[in-house]
C-alpha cells in the first residue's frame, strides 16, 4: 500500500532540510578551519602595507633629510677649508761640501702638505704648527682655485697651532663652536686634504673628550674621534652637525687611518689663535711649582718643589702641600693642573685649596708670566 502524496512531500522536505543542515554544518566547519588563515593573511597584508608605507615615507622624508645634512655640511664648511703647502730648504752633505769649496749649495726642498680653516673673512687661517714649522714659503689654495702666499702671523708649538694671513677679503669663514659642550657619541665630520685629495669629507663620532697623554706636551688635551683622518688632514676642521668648528685635527695613531684620530678642542684653538693675533705669541701662566701625583686614591696633587722668587713662593706655598682645587676646579693629576693654569690670564689672582698638616686652607696667588724660553 503506497503512502499519500502529503506524506511523500513531507519526507522529501525533511530530507532537504537535513541536506541543507548538513551543508550548512560543512560550511561552518570549513569556515572554522579556513577563517583563521584568512584573517592572518588579511592582517599580514595590512601590516605589510603599513610597513611599506612607513618605509616609503622614511625614504622620502627622514633618509632624505639625513642625506641633506651631509650635503649641506659639505657646502657650508667646504669653502672655508684651504690647502696649505709649506716648503723649507734642507741642508744636505752635498750642501756642506759645496760651502767648503765656495760653490753654490745644491738645495733640496722639503714640502709639507696640510689643511687649514678660514676663521675670519679678512684672510685669517688657523692650521697646525707642524704643518708650517721652519718653513721658508707657505702657499694657500682656496676652493675657488686662487692661490696666495701666506704670512705666518705666529705659532704655538706647545698646542701645535699656527695662524696664517693672506691678502684677501670677503672670504667664507667658519664659525667656532663651544668644545666644552661636546659629548661622547656626538656625530662629527672632518674635512681636509688627506693625501692631497682636496676637501675630503668624512664622518664619525666623538670617541672621547679630555684625552691627555697622547703627545708629550702637558698643554695638550684632545677630542678623540673615529672619523677618518689621514696625513694631509692636519690643520683642518672637525665640525658638528651645524657646520661649526669643534676642533682642529692634529694627530692620528699610526701612519694612516686606524679609527683613532685627535683634534685640538675649539675653545683652545680659538683662545690661542686670538692671542697670537693680538700679540704674535702665547703667554702662559706661571706659578713656579713642581708637582707630582699623590698616592692612588688620594685627592689632589702634591707640591714637590717651589722655585725661589716665584709667584708660588711669594704666596707661601710649600713643598709637601697637597693642592685639591685650582680656582674652584678639582685637580686629580699634574697635567690637569697645568691645563687649568694655562687658561688663567697672566696677572689674575687665583685661589688654591691646599691641605697642609692635615688642615685645608685657601691660598691666593697671582699668576705670573712663564719665561718665553720655557
Which residues are tagged catalytic?
Answer: 130, 160, 234
Which grid cell sits at 67?
A: 642625506
Would you say 326 and 303 are in contact if contact means Cβ atoms under 8 Å apart? no
Going by their DSSP bridges, the two strands 187-192 and 161-165 should be labelled as: unpaired
**Of 291, 159, 178, 263, residue with least CA distance to 220:** 159
In terms of DSSP H, where are the helices of the chain? 5-60, 62-77, 93-100, 129-132, 266-279, 311-315, 334-342
- Exposed e or buried b per residue across 130-139, where buried means at least 16 C-beta atoms within 10 angstroms of its C-beta: bbbeebeebb
- In angstroms and rounded to an integer, the radius of gyration of the C-alpha atoms of the chain is 37
Long-range contacts of 328-335 (CB under 8 A, 24+ apart): 330/299, 331/300, 331/301, 332/299, 332/300, 332/301, 333/293, 333/301, 334/218, 334/291, 334/292, 334/293, 334/301, 335/212, 335/213, 335/218
CA-CA distance, 141 to 183, in Å (whole number)?
33
Would you say 335 and 301 are in contact if contact means Cβ atoms under 8 Å apart? no
Long-range contacts of 24-32 (CB under 8 A, 24+ apart): none
Asked whether the CA dihedral 180, 186, 187, 190 is positive or negative, the reply is positive
Amino acid at each position: 500500500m503506497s503512502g499519500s502524496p502529503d506524506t511523500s512531500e513531507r519526507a522529501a522536505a525533511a530530507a532537504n532540510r537535513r541536506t541543507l543542515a548538513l551543508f550548512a554544518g560543512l560550511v561552518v566547519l570549513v569556515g572554522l578551519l579556513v577563517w583563521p588563515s584568512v584573517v592572518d593573511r588579511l592582517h599580514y597584508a595590512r601590516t605589510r602595507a603599513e610597513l611599506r608605507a612607513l618605509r616609503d615615507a622614511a625614504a622620502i622624508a627622514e633618509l632624505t633629510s639625513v642625506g641633506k645634512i651631509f650635503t649641506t655640511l659639505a657646502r657650508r664648511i667646504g669653502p672655508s677649508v684651504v690647502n696649505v703647502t709649506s716648503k723649507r730648504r734642507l741642508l744636505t752633505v752635498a750642501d756642506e761640501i759645496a760651502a767648503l769649496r765656495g760653490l753654490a749649495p745644491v738645495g733640496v726642498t722639503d714640502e709639507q702638505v696640510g689643511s687649514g680653516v678660514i676663521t675670519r673673512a679678512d684672510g685669517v687661517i688657523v692650521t697646525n704648527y707642524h704643518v708650517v714649522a721652519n718653513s721658508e714659503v707657505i702657499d694657500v689654495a682656496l676652493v675657488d682655485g686662487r692661490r696666495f702666499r701666506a704670512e705666518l702671523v705666529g705659532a704655538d708649538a706647545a698646542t701645535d697651532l699656527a695662524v696664517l694671513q693672506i691678502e684677501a677679503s670677503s672670504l667664507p669663514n667658519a664659525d667656532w663652536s663651544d668644545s666644552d659642550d661636546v659629548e661622547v657619541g656626538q656625530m662629527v665630520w672632518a674635512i681636509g686634504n688627506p693625501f692631497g685629495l682636496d676637501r675630503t669629507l668624512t664622518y664619525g663620532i666623538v670617541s672621547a673628550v679630555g684625552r691627555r697623554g697622547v703627545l708629550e706636551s702637558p698643554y695638550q688635551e684632545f677630542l678623540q674621534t673615529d672619523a677618518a683622518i689621514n696625513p694631509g688632514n692636519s690643520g683642518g676642521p672637525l665640525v658638528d652637525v651645524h657646520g661649526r668648528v669643534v676642533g682642529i685635527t692634529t694627530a692620528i695613531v699610526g701612519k694612516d687611518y686606524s679609527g683613532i684620530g685627535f683634534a685640538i678642542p675649539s675653545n683652545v684653538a680659538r683662545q690661542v689663535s686670538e692671542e697670537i693675533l693680538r700679540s704674535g705669541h702665547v703667554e702662559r701662566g706661571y706659578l713656579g711649582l713642581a708637582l707630582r701625583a699623590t698616592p692612588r686614591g688620594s685627592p689632589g696633587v702634591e707640591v714637590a718643589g717651589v722655585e725661589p722668587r716665584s709667584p708660588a713662593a711669594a704666596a707661601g706655598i710649600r713643598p709637601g702641600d697637597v693642592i685639591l682645587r685650582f680656582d674652584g676646579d678639582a685637580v686629580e693629576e699634574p697635567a690637569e693642573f697645568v691645563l687649568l693654569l694655562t687658561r688663567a690670564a697672566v696677572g689674575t689672582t687665583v685661589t688654591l685649596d691646599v691641605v697642609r698638616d692635615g688642615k685645608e686652607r685657601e691660598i691666593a696667588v697671582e699668576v705670573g708670566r712663564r719665561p718665553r724660553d720655557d
